[in-house]
Amino acid sequence: MFTKSSFSPAWWLKNPHLQTIAAKFFRRHHTIATIDETLELPDGDFIDLAWTEKVNSACNRPIVAVLHGLEGSKNSHYAKGMLSAIKARGWVGVLMHFRGCSGRPNRMAKSYHSGQTCDVDYFSQHLAQHYPAAKKAIVGFSLGGNVLTKYLAEQKQNIYQAACVICAPLDLSSCCDRINQGFSRVYQKYLVDMLKTSTMKKIKAKLLHNVDVKSLQHVRSIRDFDQMVTAPVNGFIDANDYYQRSSGRDVLKDIIAPCLIIHASDDPFLCDKNTTAITTLPQQMTFEISPRGGHVGFISGSNPFKPQFWLEQRIPEFFTRYL
């Protein structure tokens, strides 16, 4: 069902860009110690995991998995905050880095993308096999949220008791158009620059052979990057084919696990109209829409010196019902 979110923005942070930028600013010095683990993948590549603590196969406490956004990592402000909130509940948190996002380049030309679910599936099987006694939940932020919707729709009988999808680009094409407008182009430049840097590292490592360096240097938009790199490297015809086959919006109806989706209408990364253009939702899904919140911001509180991170309260609250 669709419902209005209970989130109320801080009086001093009602602008969507302030919500988006302030979240990163306030968390810039926040740290959380993690235990790193490398998970070898069937195709010869690897992904790195970051655990809030070391656990063994007898663990019977809830495990909450976290998926980060585009070019994110365990050091992303929302990831650090969520892992801390999970730990504070007495649960175990584990963040799955997408390929090449942990600070180490992956071994193959193949990259992660908004519709790549095979690594999440293998990671989930790993959790099921090694920690069978623990109940499990999963949360995905931004790109990770779209990947999560695809995974949940494809793997209906999965290991998770509940899932949360936060600020996800559920309609990829319209989101690329939205982030290419107005002030949002600042975020786009930041993301595109990181994507180009990662791609250049692969070119220098001789993992990518069909990407023209001069053309890459002139890429300014996410759509152009996806057309030149993401689509061909990952077997899509072009960017439009990638967006059509990878967007999570049209497969939400196939999800049977209890799922909470949180979306802000003023998100400067997403097209509100297209993201919420959904006719039916599964009975066990709640789609919360907030007029404000920015992109993975959702900062509340009356004191500018003591901001409250609403997502770190709302997501564990939802999971508590099932864990």
DSSP 296-321: TT-EE-S-TTS-EETHHHHHHHHHHT
29 as an active site residue: the answer is no
Under 8 Å between Cβ of 178 and 271 = yes
Which residue's entry shows tokens 């096999």?
A: 129
295 as an active site residue: the answer is yes
Active-site pick, 48, 119, 226, 267: 267
73 as an active site residue: the answer is no
Active-site pick, 111, 142, 173, 247: 142
User: What residues have CB less than 8 Å from 52, skipping those under 6 apart?
Assistant: 32, 34, 35, 83, 86, 87, 92, 93, 94
Under 8 Å between Cβ of 190 and 198 = no
Catalogue the long-range contacts made by 2-5 (C-beta closer than 8 Å, 24 or more residues apart).
2/276, 2/281, 2/287, 2/289, 3/286, 3/287, 3/288, 3/289, 4/288, 4/289, 4/290, 5/262, 5/288, 5/289, 5/290, 5/293
Residues labelled catalytic: 142, 267, 295
